[in-house]
Amino acid sequence: MKKTTQLKQLGEFGLIERLRSKLNTHSPRIKKGIGDDSAVFSTHPNKLQLTSTDALIETIHFDLKTISPIQLGHKAIAVNISDIAAMGGTPYLALISLAFPSSTSTKFIDKLYSGFQTICDSNKIELVGGDTVASPKHLFINVCIVGEAFKDRVFYRTGAKPGDQIFVTGNLGDSAMGLKILREKIKKSGSIKHKNTLVKKHLEPIPRVKESSLLARSKLKITSMIDISDGLTQDLGHLSTENNLGANLYEDRLPASKALLNVCFQKKYNPIDWILQGGEDYELLFTIKPEDVKKLEKLFLKANVFVSHIGEITKSPKKIILITGNGSKVPLRVATGFNHFK
């Protein structure tokens, strides 16, 4: 019953031509997009350039049974945007390498590209190139992204000092629970609406571009920033341990969605485990000088952006302490995030 064209019928050059016709560049700074040996673009003299790359591999990062090609296209770009946002930058250009098994249908490819295009369009990112090759078995997607930031407004992982206050955007743990729901097909308990919300957070993450831009355009004394991809504890470890510092986290300030709390309640999970260790949140975790906390809260309130003040950087080397509701201190083990090779 399979009537769609397969890649082996279309051929490599047919595919490139098909994609090229759909992907037009708009920005005058892109002198050449797809169709030459390299893409050519201009940069602003008073900005720094940012670049990052992320690969998504079938069976490791995604399962084609649970993610649609449109969602996959969205996610591959979203996780890269998040890396630029985590530096205070704005992405403007992307290159996509794809390795397809030859049985891939052109319908699948069209939908995948539709996913790429939609998120790129809404973020004004130009798709300027890539590589399209065969794969012996699994689908590989690699995105390389380029962005820019004002010279004095690039936020690194290093830079936090004791006393700096820790903030995080959005809610934590939703994506990890969404993945669990997908994998284990938790059907019998919990509301369908809540489960759908969590699954969507996993499959269609929204990179925090607006929040990053608010911080970059402000004069707030941001001292470090990272996006949460490996889980709060793990990524906070990157911010605090780089300079041999530690952190206190206040349990009752950690942000969790109603959806996560509902499913945890139904399944008798402890939400704190999901909040602290859940990966792929793509929320921004950052530190700010204590004197700027009020200004930050005002700025984000005005912009209607949700942010939580969850703790502070301490002098205790490499110790992340969770302070519970009753005041007891629980040391957290860092490096509990996702490890690809174990």
- Interaction residues for a copy of itself, span 197-256 (CB under 8 A): 225-227
Candidates 53-61, 171-179, 257-265, 292-300 — which segment interacts with a copy of itself by CB under 8 A? 53-61
Residue type (1 letter), 109: I
Distance of CA 157 to CAs 133, 173, 214, 235, Å?
35, 21, 18, 9
* Structure tokens, 306: 């949700």
Q: What number of other Cβ atoms are within 10 A of residue 187's Cβ?
A: 9
CB of 53 to a copy of itself, least distance (A): 4
97 versus 316: smaller Cβ distance to a copy of itself: 97
Nearer to a copy of itself, 40 or 301 (CB): 40
12: contact with a copy of itself by CB under 8 A = yes
The set of residues, in sequence order, having a beta carbon less than 8 Å from that of 32 and lying 6+ positions away, is: 38, 39, 40, 128
CA pair distance 303, 306, nearest whole angstrom? 9
Cβ-contact 89, 169 below 8 angstroms: no
Single out the residue of 20, 22, 40, 196 in contact with a copy of itself (rule: CB under 8 A): 40
Amino acid identity for residue 275 in this structure:
I
Out of 42, 122, 244, 324, the only residue in the binding site for a copy of itself (CB under 8 A) is 42
Task: Pick between residue 47 and residue 289 the one whose CB is nearest to a copy of itself.
Answer: 47
Q: Are 155 and 224 within 8 A, CB to CB?
A: yes
Contact 275, 199 (CB under 8 A): no
- Look up residue 233 and give its amino acid: T
Which of 19, 69, 75, 100 is close enough to bind a copy of itself by CB under 8 A? 100
Among 4, 24, 43, 196, binds a copy of itself (CB under 8 A): 43
Q: Is residue 113 a contact point for a copy of itself (CB under 8 A)?
A: no
Which residue lies nearer to a copy of itself by CB, 137 or 294? 137
Q: Does residue 132 bind a copy of itself (CB under 8 A)?
A: yes
Options 41, 108, 274, 300; binder of a copy of itself; rule CB under 8 A: 41
134 binds a copy of itself (CB under 8 A): yes
Sheet holding 307-314, edge to edge: 222-227, 284-288, 165-169, 307-314, 246-250, 320-323, 329-332
Of residues 200, 198, 168, the one with CA closest to residue 311: 168
Closest to a copy of itself by CB, 97 or 218: 97
Determine which residue in the list 78, 120, 146, 264 makes contact with a copy of itself, applying CB under 8 A.
Answer: 146
DSSP 58: B
**Gap between the Cα atoms of 87 and 242, Å rounded:** 16
Among 23, 61, 279, 310, binds a copy of itself (CB under 8 A): 61
Residues 155 and 284: their CA atoms lie apart, in Å, by: 11
- Smaller CB separation from a copy of itself, 24 or 43: 43
Give min distance, CB of 49 to a copy of itself, in A: 5
Position 10 contacts a copy of itself (CB under 8 A): yes
> Would you state the structure tokens that stand for residue 281, as one six-digit string?
């949140």
Which range, of 123-131, 162-170, 198-206, 289-297, touches a copy of itself by CB under 8 A?
A: 123-131
According to the binding rule CB under 8 A, does residue 26 interact with a copy of itself? no
Nearest distance from C-beta of residue 44 to a copy of itself, angstroms: 9
Partners of 284 in the beta sheet?
Answer: 227
